Amino acid sequence: MPPLPAAVDPQALTSVLDGRWALLRADIRAQMAAEPYRDAVDLGVEAHRARAFEQLQALAATDRPGLGFDKAYGGGGDIGGSVVSFEMLGFGDLSLMVKAGVQWGLFGGAVQLLGTQRHHERYLRRIKDLDLLGCFAMTEHGHGSDVQHLRTTATYDPAGGEAGEAGEFVVHTPDRGATKEYIGNAARDGRAAVVFAQLVTGGESRGVHAFFVPIRDDAGDPAPGVTIEDCGPKAGLNGVDNGRLTFDHVRIPREALLNRFGDVAPDGTYSSPIEGDARRFFTMLGTLIRGRVSVGGSAGSATKRALALAVRYAEQRRQFTKPDGEEVVILDYLGHQRKLLPALATTYALHFAQDELVAALHDTAADAPDAPDAPDEGQRELESRAAGLKVANTWHATAAIQAAREACGGAGYLAENLLPGLKADTDVFTTFEGDNTVLLQLVAKGLLTGYKDSFQNLSPLATARFVAERVLGAVAERTAARKVVDRLSEGDDRAALGDREWQLKLFEDREQHVLEGVADRLRKAGEDPFGVFNAAQDHVLRAGRVHVDRLVLEAFVRAIGRCSDAGAKAVLERVCDLYALANIEADRAWFLEHGRLSAGRSKAVIAAVNALCGELRPHARVLVDGFGIPEQYLAAGMLEG
């Protein structure tokens, strides 16, 4: 391979990273750089909440919160720009990012996407301008991931209440398990909530729907029948006022139902443009993926910040001496490079995949019809990709920020050096907006829909044919895989392992093999489908993970193709190699067990990762500078002097 250039302009990397929303990112950076900023490392809970609210008010004075709202209500009509804006908040106080996400992404987004014109006209401008602060009350004490079985009820009373209102819903918490839990903005600032509850009308439950419910009066006291508790201090994100909500027969108008996907007439008759309660429920949830996309992007920003801090520290910290007596910069040690540079490569890879996801979300929203309908294949694929990349981004953040903390030694453990706060604040990202393990299962289930005809109602003859086809397919697969391995049986290891076509083929082949293996196992479900699925859960999760790995690698390759700067492109090619080979190295057991790598080639992968770390070491600083993080967000004591 040709040697890398001696120097690369970080702005050339920034240009590739910024992509479609480059102008918006530049504008946001300028806004961020002009604002006074200091991390909340020495604040108590109440002081941190007060500061986060002040920052939220300052943010409301810009045009950024309204980017995702319709132009008719003072917004920008730019869905992708809105998500990018939330993503860049991840460079700073993540409590502000979460609080903003609750207000404008979850609360405002639910009103926009689940409501209709009457709700938009009444609430959206007030939500955008921060005149109406709100919550997103979905999760319950007894049900988090299993939203379909929430226990809060909203029972329609066509006679109305004592106030003489004709037709009201009665929102009620029947037991402790139905308590709305961990609700952002609830403990202190929220005045209303979008509450997800089982809609009951005419004695029949029609599944989970969303309702606009006031939770405080104008004086800030709990509304009649509403009980609000403070969740108190958390491991991180203490600038967010998480609380618990319960409802004791709280009456709300019939029009409080966010009725895009289902409505109740004054006489209690239920109607919906989508047939089937389950189909309607999943269609409704599918519209709310912006929050999931934003969490993944914000996790990526926090990871970039942590790696930028760790790389800068590693370039100035010295430990132990060479034979000539000179102390060694710790980033010159291979062990230190291995801590940080593969993580940096994965961060680049995930950024490019995230950028494509945001573009797809934006374009899908722009092309969506006004009338609601069940999701088509493209929408389902988008939802699956959003789930998978949220998982990849947040698990990577957890691992990479921990690695960055360790790479900075004792300095990394001091709050003033920011890494402990990043570690604590991002930890819950793997849980909210969808538990990662559950989301990976959703990704795999989506992939398996192509096999459903093979699972269902197989006669003995059809079963025999299916098995025969699978055997023939497996033979063909093994033959193709062997050709891939044989192609690398001679010649220079490094050149062979750097073959981009081979890397892509290997990722694709692994995904196909794992997915077909899951399909085979689940086809045998018989009379105990749950037992069979549960026994295959590890296989299912692997299928989801390797699918995401392939999507990420392909996105990285496409991004390199868009790079016009020769030096930056050469560096990105090596970074992509490091992402691919570090991924293969981490999964060497699978590749060896399934004949995709020989023992010799497996060892060669390790050597190639080592070599790539050495080649990229001189460019580590420019790679983190390419993220374009405003300097004031990297002001850590360990980097002074």
Active site amino acids: 433
What are phi and psi for residue 372, nearest 5 degrees?
A: -70, 150
Query: What is the Cα–Cα distance from 281 to 209, expressed in whole angstroms?
Result: 8
With contact defined as beta carbons under 8 Å apart, do 308 and 624 qualify? yes
Q: Is 475 left (phi over 0), alpha (psi -120 to 50) or beta?
A: alpha
Task: With H, G, I as helix, E, B as strand and everything else as coil, classify residue 481.
Answer: helix
Query: What is the Cα–Cα distance from 361 to 604, expressed in whole angstroms?
Result: 40
Exposure of 267 by Cβ count < 10 A (0-12 exposed, 13-18 middle, 19+ buried)? exposed
Closest to 559 (Cα-Cα) out of 20, 5, 8: 20
Cβ neighbours, 10 Å, residue 531 = 11
The amino acid at residue 457 is N
DSSP string across 593-633: HTTSS-HHHHHHHHHHHHHHHHHHGGGHHHHHHTT---GGG
Exposure of 321 by Cβ count < 10 A (0-12 exposed, 13-18 middle, 19+ buried)? exposed
Query: What is the Cα–Cα distance from 178 to 469, expressed in whole angstroms?
Result: 49
Closest to 121 (Cα-Cα) out of 75, 74, 73: 73
Exposure of 236 by Cβ count < 10 A (0-12 exposed, 13-18 middle, 19+ buried)? buried
Alpha-carbon distance values, 568 to 200, 288, 428 (Å):
59, 37, 35
Which residues fall within 8 angstroms of residue 159, CB to CB, at 6 or more apart? 166
The amino acid at residue 489 is S
Closest to 73 (Cα-Cα) out of 115, 37, 20, 14: 115
What are phi and psi for residue 460, nearest 5 degrees?
A: -55, -40
| 194 DSSP assignment | E
Task: With H, G, I as helix, E, B as strand and everything else as coil, classify residue 524.
Answer: coil
Alpha-carbon distance values, 384 to 389, 553, 558 (Å):
9, 17, 20
For 286-304, b/e burial (b = at least 16 CB within 10 A) is bbbbbbbbbbbbbbbbbbb
The amino acid at residue 484 is V
What are phi and psi for residue 136, nearest 5 degrees?
A: -120, 100
For 382-420, b/e burial (b = at least 16 CB within 10 A) is bbbbbbbbbbbbbbbbbebbbbbbebbeebbeeeebbbb
Tokens describing residue 320: 């132990």
Cβ neighbours, 10 Å, residue 41 = 13
Tokens describing residue 286: 């599918």
